[in-house]
Amino acid sequence: MSAILGLPANVVYATVAIYALLVIASIVVGVLRWKNPGERYSELASRTDSWWWMIGAFTLCILLNQTVAIFFLAFISYLALKEYLSLIPTRRIDREVLLFAYLAIPIQYYWAAIDWYGMFIVFVPVWMFLFLPPLLVLRGRSEGFLRAVGTISSGLMMTVFTLSHMAWLLVSGDVVNPVAGGVGLLFFLVVLTQFNDVAQYCWGKLFGRHKVTPHVSPKKTWEGLIGGVATTTLVAALAGPYLTPLDMRWSALAGLILGIAGFLGDITMSAMKRDLGVKDTGGLIPGHGGILDRVDSPLTRHRCSCTSSATSTTHEQEPAHETAQVPVLRRGGARLDPCRARSYGAASRAAA
Amino acid sequence: MRALILVALGLTVRHRERLPKDGPAILAGNHNSNLDALAMMSLMPLRLLPKLRPVAAMDYFYSSRLRGWFADQIVGIIPVKRGSGKEGGNPLLLAEQALDRGEILVIFPEGTRGEPETLQAFKKGIGHLAKARSKVPVVPGFIHGLGKAPPRGSALLVPFNVIVSVGEPLYGKESYDAFVSELEAAMTALAAQEKLPAWE
């Protein structure tokens, strides 16, 4: 893989493309506002402005170096967990226990950083799940105990476990992705995820008629969903071969999964907000709401994109595949499979 | 401290446009935590920081030398002696002088932190002050979240999002009692607009 500034060339091209898209979007929004001054497009304008900030921060941190990137992603988890814990009803006596929930973040990202997949994958759903209830019991009050266990555990799953997959893709992706490295995989995932949100929003705004879930998220329409998923699938098919080890067909499938999973993540967060009686999860990002509003769709998606590929069966038994020299294998094998490939990496390291 | 509040806790401000652009002014907040004054102060732009003066009880802040030094030198409080009005003096003299200099006072009319995350009846001092300087806007700010982060008696900081909801400015009246009720009503209305998760 060729490199520019120490980064895979394709990732640099993708970054340039994103910024170009952003410039075009800003121009379009600017023209719309100029033609229709007033309130109508002000939310759209602040949304676009926020995109500049978010994409700026993301690209800067991710491209700077891996350690900075992991800290950045962990900080996103922290913001999301804090927002979640501030929204849910909590018991006064559990205040100190919540610190342990926060402590799960550095630990989980550490497993990702050292690429210990076995620990990474069980730490939150098993260890934290079993470790927190006794702590809550030791606070000495049983009323509301089950609610506390349930809300805190699912919060950790939502904000720490799922989001940390970004860090893990970044670290472990190099072995499986000779085309653009871990950073390419992360880019593919994050950019498409967010792109899909925007695509569904645009399609919905332009053609939306029939509601998908009138009670949970009345703004979501079938037109937006189908149009968005189709657009994402198309973009994925075009970009996938340059950023991931997938060929065009598998990239399209990845895009399809991303699109649908993103929608499911989105309505899951809507249901949560409705249950809590709030509109936005916070005021962090102008025009978007809180950080949970922004990362809702990645939540489900990151997990899906990994598990779905883990079901792959075409694993060539090529013991000789030492890290980088496997373009044929990966392109031919045609399956993004970071979950299984992790054991590959370990195996080849053991062999060496 | 500003960085701690903005990055580690995260401050959401509702109706930022209602904040005064310059002094003299009074910011009236509800009091749940030691960090309240700092949260209120971080609402204002940095250039106004030298003008910001929290009004605080003497007996608490001057009870230890370290606390007194911190309150005087770092935060720049205006001390008020609790109960000195009954002795015939004007406990708010320093506060009135500060307003005359164009400074911005941060006041917690509840008088004490009390039970975390609950509003208590306001003391009358703010009514007297607003009556004495009736041209100065009194801007109510309802803070919540900080009472959970470190409640009274706990030094352990657990991160929670902090929300400050700013109300329309009010002005002093002939009757200080009426003003205090009006301010209380404004604060209760701000609190009612927030969806506060249960915390018991």
Task: Give chain B positions within 8 Å (CB) of A83.
Answer: 10, 161
Q: Enter the tokens of residue B176.
A: 């200080």
- Tell me if A106 sits within 8 A of A74, measured CB to CB: yes
> Does A318 score more than 80 pLDDT?
no
- CA atoms of A163 and A306, how far apart (whole Å): 12
Between the alpha carbon of residue A68 and those of residues A59, A72, A181, A190, A265, the distances in Å are 11, 6, 17, 17, 27
Tell which B residues from 92 to 131 touch A, by Cβ distance under 8 Å. Answer: 116
Note whether residue A285 is domain-resident: yes
Note whether residue A317 is domain-resident: no
- Tell me if A181 sits within 8 A of A297, measured CB to CB: no
For A74-109, letters b (16+ CB in 10 Å) and e give bebbbbbbbbbbbbbebbeebbebbeebbebbebbb
Q: Which residue did the predictor score with more confidence, A309 or A332? A: A309
| pLDDT tens sequence across B38-49 | 888 888 877 788
- Tell me if A344 sits within 8 A of A176, measured CB to CB: yes
> Does B187 score more than 50 pLDDT?
yes
| pLDDT tens sequence across A179-198 | 888 888 888 888 888 888 88
Task: Give chain B positions within 8 Å (CB) of A96.
Answer: 156, 158
Q: Enter the tokens of residue A303.
A: 């997990």
- CA atoms of A21 and A59, how far apart (whole Å): 14
> Does A35 score more than 90 pLDDT?
no
Range of the domain at B185: 2-193
The residues of A whose Cβ lies within 8 A of any Cβ of B are 78-79, 82-83, 85-92, 95-96, 98-99, 102, 276-278, 282-284
The arithmetic mean of pLDDT across residues B83-99, rounded, is 71
> Does B69 score more than 80 pLDDT?
no
- Tell me if A130 sits within 8 A of A105, measured CB to CB: no
Neighbours of A169 (CB within 10 A): 27
pLDDT at B7: 67
User: CB distance A278–B195 less than 8 Å?
Assistant: yes
Task: Give chain A positions within 8 Å (CB) of B148.
Answer: 90, 95
pLDDT at A87: 84
Closest CB from A82, A88, A92 relative to B159 = A82
In terms of Cβ atoms closer than 10 Å to its own Cβ (0-12, 13-18, 19+), residue A348 is middle
Q: Give the type of residue at B69.
A: W
User: CB distance A283–B148 less than 8 Å?
Assistant: no
Note whether residue B198 is domain-resident: no
Closest CB from A82, A87, A98 relative to B197 = A87
| pLDDT tens sequence across A71-105 | 999 998 998 898 888 888 888 888 888 889 999 99
Note whether residue B200 is domain-resident: no
Task: Give chain B positions within 8 Å (CB) of A155.
Answer: none
Note whether residue B122 is domain-resident: yes
pLDDT at A89: 86
- Confidence band (pLDDT; 50, 70, 90) for A322? very low
pLDDT at A330: 31
pLDDT at B115: 66
**Any chain A CB within 8 A of the CB of B152?**
no
| pLDDT tens sequence across B104-119 | 888 887 767 666 666 6
- Nearest residue to A13 (alpha-carbon basis) of A177, A176, A184: A184
> Does A334 score more than 50 pLDDT?
no
Q: How many A/B residue pairs have CB atoms within 8 Å?
A: 53
- Residue B34: give its domain's CATH number: 3.40.1130.10
pLDDT at A292: 65
> Does B143 score more than 90 pLDDT?
no
- CA atoms of B95 and B194, how far apart (whole Å): 31
Note whether residue A316 is domain-resident: no
Neighbours of A264 (CB within 10 A): 15
ipTM of the complex: 0.79
- CA atoms of A228 and A193, how far apart (whole Å): 11
- CA atoms of A21 and B16, how far apart (whole Å): 32
Q: Enter the tokens of residue B8.
A: 């580690």
Q: Which residue did the predictor score with more confidence, A304 or A312? A: A304
Residue bearing tokens 């402590």: A103
- Confidence band (pLDDT; 50, 70, 90) for A327? very low
In chain B, what percentage of residues exceed pLDDT 70? 78
- CB under 8 Å to A184, separation ≥6 — which residues? A8, A10, A11, A14, A173, A177, A242, A243, A244
pLDDT at A113: 93
**Angle, helix A181-207 to helix A162-176, in steps of 10 degrees:** 130
**Any chain A CB within 8 A of the CB of B10?**
yes
Q: Which residue did the predictor score with more confidence, A286 or A167? A: A167
In chain B, what percentage of residues exceed pLDDT 90? 0
Note whether residue B199 is domain-resident: no
- CA atoms of A288 and A299, how far apart (whole Å): 17
**Any chain A CB within 8 A of the CB of B154?**
yes
Task: Give chain B positions within 8 Å (CB) of A283.
Answer: 12-14, 163
Q: Which residue did the predictor score with more confidence, B174 or A196? A: A196
User: CB distance A79–B10 less than 8 Å?
Assistant: yes
- Confidence band (pLDDT; 50, 70, 90) for B24? confident
Note whether residue A121 is domain-resident: yes
pLDDT at A44: 81
Range of the domain at A225: 3-311+322-351
Task: Give chain A positions within 8 Å (CB) of B159.
Answer: 78, 82, 85, 102
Q: Considering its fold, how many domains does chain B have in total?
A: 1
> Does A272 score more than 70 pLDDT?
yes
**Measured over all CA atoms, what is the biggest interatomic distance in chain B, rounded to whole angstroms?**
46
The mean-pLDDT minimum among A290-299, B104-113, B123-132 falls in A290-299
Q: Which residue did the predictor score with more confidence, A329 or B195? A: B195
- Nearest residue to A191 (alpha-carbon basis) of A55, A1, A47: A55
The arithmetic mean of pLDDT across residues A55-74, rounded, is 87
- CB under 8 Å to A214, separation ≥6 — which residues? none
The mean-pLDDT minimum among A258-272, A310-324, B94-108 falls in A310-324
User: CB distance A82–B160 less than 8 Å?
Assistant: yes
Q: Considering its fold, how many domains does chain A have in total?
A: 1
- Confidence band (pLDDT; 50, 70, 90) for A232? very high
Alpha helices by DSSP H, chain A: 9-35, 42-64, 66-87, 95-113, 117-122, 129-138, 145-156, 162-176, 181-207, 222-243, 248-276, 291-310, 327-333, 338-351
Task: Pick the residue of B11, B161, B162, B199 with the most A CBs within 10 A to test the interface with A by mutation.
Answer: B161
User: CB distance A86–B14 less than 8 Å?
Assistant: no
Reduced to 3 states (helix: H, G, I; strand: E, B; else coil), residue A285 is strand
**Any chain A CB within 8 A of the CB of B14?**
yes
- Tell me if B38 sits within 8 A of B1, measured CB to CB: yes
> Does B63 score more than 70 pLDDT?
no
- Tell me if A117 sits within 8 A of A108, measured CB to CB: no
Note whether residue A234 is domain-resident: yes
DSSP string over chain B: -HHIIIIII-EEEE-GGGS-SSSSEEEEE---STTHHHHHHTTS-GGGGGGEEEEEEHHHHTSSHHHHHIIIIII--EEE-TTGGGGTS-TTHHHHHHHHTT-EEEE-TT-S--STT---PPPSHHHHHHHHTTTS-EEEEEEESTTTSS-TT--------EEEEE---B---S-HHHHHHHHHHHHHHHHHHS-PPPB-
Intra-chain end-to-end CA distance of chain A, in Å = 23
pLDDT at A337: 39
- Confidence band (pLDDT; 50, 70, 90) for B89? low
Note whether residue A97 is domain-resident: yes
Which chain B residue shows the shortest CA-CA distance from A280?
B195
Mean pLDDT computed over every residue of chain A: 78
From B5's Cα to the closest Cα of chain A, the distance in A is 13
- Confidence band (pLDDT; 50, 70, 90) for A342? very low
